[in-house]
Structure 1
Amino acid sequence: MRPLLNSAFSLSLMAGALLAGTSPGYAAEETEATLNAYAAGYLAGFTCSAVFNGKKEMDAIRRDELTGIYPLIAERVNALEPEINREEQWVRVSYDNGQRARISVWRPRLGCVDLPVGATLADRVHLANPFAGAIAPGADNGQPWSDQQPATMTSSQQQALNEVVAQAFTKKYGSGTRTSAVFIATPEHILAERYQPGFTAVTPQRTWSVAKSIGASVIGAAVWQRLVETEAPAQLANWSHPLDPRRQITLEHLLHMASGLDSNKAGNRTDRVYMGGGLVSDTATETALEVAPGSRWKYANNDTLLALRTLRERFATLDGYLQFPYQALLDKIGMQHTYLETDWQGDFILSSQVWTTARDLGRLGVLHLNRGEWYGEQVLPSDWLTYISTPAPAQPPENAPAYGAQWWLYNERFPELPNDTIAARGNRGQFLLIIPSENLVIVRRGYDLAGEPGFNEHDFTRDVLKALASE
């Protein structure tokens, strides 16, 4: 049986972080001024991140980040030209015949932040910068993996696996696929690793909605440190009035994509935050309930943003919050080439705007396989893998993977994969799959084309498992 992973429904979910799967009529509600600002913001933000996070040149940025994107803004983006200041580390894009400009500014470790419409370069002094002066990351240290191949892996298995990986860089797994990286590992060994020309083990790219699962891991670290409880109400300041029914929303509801909040027709449409220079606090926290919390599953970027906003409101200072994911998670497991980007008031946009490498995603997978432990230190609760892998009470339709806590579940709905397979999935073909029963992590990165069949991670994972089981 071939799962319906390339249906219109699942494509809209996979695109989740931003734009795919949205009806054209819905986009038509935007004014010309807003669309122009979106296009300029998109170009400024992606160019900034690709240049200063990814160390890419403009020709590669146009090839990868700026082609095959959402049709609503694609033509407008291609008509604009970014101004890149490498010394001061910002990008500016003028639009509306030079009357206006959008600006994106890079900060150490935090990557790029898009300033609001109307902001000038002088305004960047108001941005929080808790990692000022941080040294840029160097080569990947290869930990926790051994340089030696596992003795249990035969030459025929290695050959079969190499053939499957090579096919991932063709159109075998989807006509719209453009693979940039494949990384397959156990906690001890790298079994396969390959990159497109120009990419290396330290080349980050945007995760899109894979960021949601990274965000859930940050929440897991906060649970371990007893900063939050999943069963407790979110208790956001905006929802504090005694008559506000949103006081019933728990952190768990948000992790399960079951807040019940109005997230417009397509819950993956958060354009004003993603490329409009808007704020999490002005968008995600202001929507009203549509249904009772916990009664409906709906894929919504806002639920992820609100889960992290819940954590932020537990901190006394903004700098303390911005440093927490790095001190509590990323630095502990060696995710040194990972950038968690924020809005201009310091809310992490952990529904999409993370730039990281295939190896760093592999490390996150290994942490989960190790039940939250890293070199003898507990980073996540020991039962966190069980928690995120448990199906939420409200579930997606049956032609898609099931859902846990910000992770997709390939359980009995997909009999060709082990029932304990979970995945982080993102737009343009970003995948991190964890298979505890096989002690295996599979990462695929790409720049798949909007509107065409994307990378079928189910079939690829099935073929990887067959290769590893070959005689």
Structure 2
Amino acid sequence: MRTTTLAAAIAALALAVPLSAQSQQELLDARHDRALAAGYKALVLCSAIAIAERNGTTRTPESVEAWELTGIQAPLDGLVASLPFEIVRRPGGQIAHVAVDWAEDMPARIAAYQRPETGCSILPIGAHNGSDPHAQPAHEMALKILSPNDEPVLPEGRAGPKLAAAVERALDADDYGKGARTTRILIQSDGTTLADGYATDFGWSTPQRTFSVAKSIAATLIGASVYRGNADVNASAGLGLSEADPRRAITIDHLLRMASGRYSDTPGNRTDPLYYGGATVDEVALDWPLISPPGSTYRYANNDTLAAVAAIRKTFAAHPPTGMFAKLGMNHTVAETDWQGSYVLSSQVWSTADDLAAFGQLYLNDGVLPSGERVLPEGWVKYVTTPSGPQPATGTFGYGAGFWLLNKEEGVPPDTFAAIGNRGQYVVIVPSRQVVIVRRGEDPAGSSFNIAAFTRDVLASLLTE
């Protein structure tokens, strides 16, 4: 499926960069940005569509372009729409890969659907996809898959009028953030649904990328490893080249608390070479230099979570993320890997609101499954919600170990904590009220959803209804 011609896209790029500004470095940077934008588009199309079909529903390319591929960060947002793409399928209909053209003298960027358990992986820039000679263009396939809802579905469940009104405002108005785009709201108490609402194009089994909610999932997988006796958060994470390397002093706990003391190039560190460039975790996340004593400074960084996960990756052969997802009933969740098979658990997890509510319920139950089986250590909830490390210098939220803390928000119980991801992904857990609030979104860059205000309104409505 070609959305435009490559020549037109290249002409648009030339017009976007004045000749007077086209220094060698600027041209090189512009070319690299196009390669990353193509990788972004290939991976998002592949993951959104393939994982939706895995879950028994469907997403159209037009829907993905309208939601996931608009409002993204600069400079990719100005490039993505013009890049032509093709969806290639295997006999039977399953996606094989998505290809996005970006330069006449280079192969298309390829996102390959590896396995249902691990979703799509972006191949390195310049890689050809020759792994599936039987793949066919998408238009030759006929799929029989359930469609998502075509119109917004307003609150269902046991919501009283005040709770229903808050959910409806979150879905249809700017009350909780100008320009914010909510795709799903799910509120549960003790596992019972109190309110549930969807945006157009989304249904209960429609997956979305979790972004940094994946960091909290990573912390949970580490907790399960600790419970099994396979990991110790106070042990070295194994970074550095030898025992003499000062980075060996960095523990898993330091990494979970964003307190490794390692350098990062930007706040959060833009991990685009890994996420969309086809680099691997080992290439880009583990070798950053130490510039502060471990445990002395807070610096939110994707690389810290990736290094914490790398410290337990030998356990994944016997205990992959799919095993934990199955125990929790998170059957519509996929943790993706780089093209060499390392999990990218800082961001690349796709999940549904129902699965994330089950994830939140695990923490309400102190790490015990409904069956009575314990999967997290006793006290793990206290551990991840204790701000014992250095704290963010800005904002009102604190930070524990892989989770954000809403312990200073007026009208919100001080034991409230949350998994939070870019573009408005929230899983808010309120132990004292036995409530889980899941909000999914595709908020444009520069817009945000006020989750503290929404949480306050939800909890207040539950007290009066």
Tell me, yes or no, whether TM beats 0.5: yes
Q: CA deviation at 1:240?
A: 4.2
Query: Corresponding residue for 1:160?
Result: 162
Letter in 2 for 1:434: I
Query: Corresponding residue for 1:407?
Result: 403
1:202-281 to structure 2, matched below 5 A, reads 202-236=205-239, 239-281=240-282
The 3-state SS of whatever aligns with 2:79 is helix
Query: Corresponding residue for 2:46?
Result: 48
Q: Distance in 2 between matches of 1:198 and 1:35?
A: 29
Query: Corresponding residue for 1:463?
Result: 457
Letter in 2 for 1:182: I
Query: Corresponding residue for 1:284?
Result: 285
Q: Distance in 1 between matches of 2:26 and 2:295?
A: 31
The 3-state SS of whatever aligns with 2:194 is strand
Q: Distance in 1 between matches of 2:64 and 2:386?
A: 39
Contact kept? 1:105, 1:124, Cα under 8 Å: no
Q: Distance in 1 between matches of 2:282 and 2:191?
A: 42
When residues 282 and 99 of structure 1 are mapped into structure 2, their CA distance, relative to the original with a 3 A threshold, is closer
**Unaligned runs of at least 5 residues, structure 1:** 1-26, 126-136, 140-147
> Structure 1: which 4+ aligned runs deviate by more than 4 Å?
27-30
Q: Distance in 2 between matches of 1:59 and 1:82?
A: 12
Q: CA deviation at 1:51?
A: 1.1
Query: Corresponding residue for 2:121?
Result: 113
Deviations 1:305-353 (A, max 9, x none): 00100011x34xxx716x52122x1110110000101111111111111
Verify: 1:396 aligned to 2:397, yes or no.
Answer: no
Q: CA deviation at 1:121?
A: 1.0
Letter in 2 for 1:194: G
Aligned sequence identity (%)? 43
Aligned match for 1:32, one of 30, 36, 40: 30
Q: Distance in 1 between matches of 2:439 and 2:365?
A: 21
Deviations 1:137-186 (A, max 9, x none): 999xxxxxxxx97xxx7xxx611111110010111111121100000002
1:41-120 to structure 2, matched below 5 A, reads 41-54=39-52, 55-87=58-90, 88-97=95-104, 99-106=106-113, 107-120=115-128
Query: Corresponding residue for 2:185?
Result: 182
RMSD: 2.3
Q: CA deviation at 1:99?
A: 3.2
Q: Distance in 2 between matches of 1:30 and 1:69?
A: 22
Q: Distance in 2 between matches of 1:250 and 1:62?
A: 41
Contact kept? 2:189, 2:434, Cα under 8 Å: yes
Letter in 2 for 1:103: I
Q: CA deviation at 1:29?
A: 11
Contact kept? 1:362, 1:432, Cα under 8 Å: yes
Contact kept? 1:261, 1:291, Cα under 8 Å: yes
Query: Corresponding residue for 1:379?
Result: 375
Contact kept? 2:106, 2:126, Cα under 8 Å: no
Contact kept? 2:322, 2:334, Cα under 8 Å: no
Q: Distance in 2 between matches of 1:225 and 1:368?
A: 18
| TM-score normalised per structure 2 | 0.84
Q: CA deviation at 1:463?
A: 0.4
Q: Distance in 2 between matches of 1:279 and 1:28?
A: 26
Query: Corresponding residue for 1:421?
Result: 416
Letter in 2 for 1:244: D
Q: Which structure has the greater CA radius of gyration?
A: 2
Query: Corresponding residue for 2:13?
Result: none
Q: Distance in 1 between matches of 2:72 and 2:47?
A: 16
Contact kept? 1:410, 1:421, Cα under 8 Å: yes
When residues 311 and 164 of structure 1 are mapped into structure 2, their CA distance, relative to the original with a 3 A threshold, is same
Q: CA deviation at 1:123?
A: 5.1
Verify: 1:320 aligned to 2:317, yes or no.
Answer: yes
Contact kept? 1:47, 1:82, Cα under 8 Å: no
Q: CA deviation at 1:32?
A: 2.4
The 3-state SS of whatever aligns with 2:393 is coil
Query: Corresponding residue for 2:306?
Result: 305
Q: CA deviation at 1:235?
A: 1.7
| TM-score normalised per structure 1 | 0.83
Q: Distance in 2 between matches of 1:406 and 1:105?
A: 29
When residues 28 and 388 of structure 1 are mapped into structure 2, their CA distance, relative to the original with a 3 A threshold, is farther
The 3-state SS of whatever aligns with 2:282 is helix
Give the total of aligned pairs.
Answer: 411
Q: Distance in 1 between matches of 2:458 and 2:27?
A: 44
When residues 240 and 97 of structure 1 are mapped into structure 2, their CA distance, relative to the original with a 3 A threshold, is closer
When residues 469 and 253 of structure 1 are mapped into structure 2, their CA distance, relative to the original with a 3 A threshold, is same
Contact kept? 1:116, 1:276, Cα under 8 Å: yes
The 3-state SS of whatever aligns with 1:363 is helix
The 3-state SS of whatever aligns with 2:457 is helix
Q: Distance in 1 between matches of 2:193 and 2:375?
A: 22
Deviations 1:396-450 (A, max 9, x none): 1253300000100011x22321000001111111100000000000000011111
Contact kept? 2:186, 2:439, Cα under 8 Å: yes
Q: CA deviation at 1:28?
A: 7.3
Q: Distance in 2 between matches of 1:268 and 1:282?
A: 15
**Unaligned runs of at least 5 residues, structure 2:** 1-24, 53-57, 134-144, 148-155
Contact kept? 1:423, 1:431, Cα under 8 Å: yes
Deviations 1:181-209 (A, max 9, x none): 00000223111111112211111001111
Q: CA deviation at 1:76?
A: 1.4
Contact kept? 1:373, 1:382, Cα under 8 Å: no
Contact kept? 2:385, 2:417, Cα under 8 Å: yes
Q: CA deviation at 1:268?
A: 3.1
Deviations 1:87-107 (A, max 9, x none): 252101111136331100112
Q: Distance in 1 between matches of 2:321 and 2:211?
A: 18
